[in-house]
Amino acid sequence: MNMLDLNVLERLDKTDQEKIEYFLKLLLDKSKYKKLKEEISVRREEIVKGEVLDHDEIWNKIDV
């Protein structure tokens, strides 16, 4: 969403914001997003544990 869209959402009353939030939650819970959500969750856990690659490791991994 761009900034204009966010401004529109902020202008809606509380009940309409809740309806949009509910609809977005349904979309994100669909199976086509499940794999992406799981990957994001794994990445977040890696970041918390400090298991991230630095710049050199990335380039070495792709063998460039």
Is pLDDT of 63 > 90?
no
- Are the C-beta atoms of 38 and 32 separated by less than 8 Å? no
pLDDT at 47: 86
State pLDDT tens for residues 13-47. 999 999 988 988 888 778 777 888 888 899 899 88
Mean pLDDT on 4-8: 68
Domain parsing of the chain, residue ranges: 3-61
Sign of CA dihedral 26, 27, 31, 35: negative
pLDDT at 6: 64
- Are the C-beta atoms of 9 and 20 separated by less than 8 Å? yes
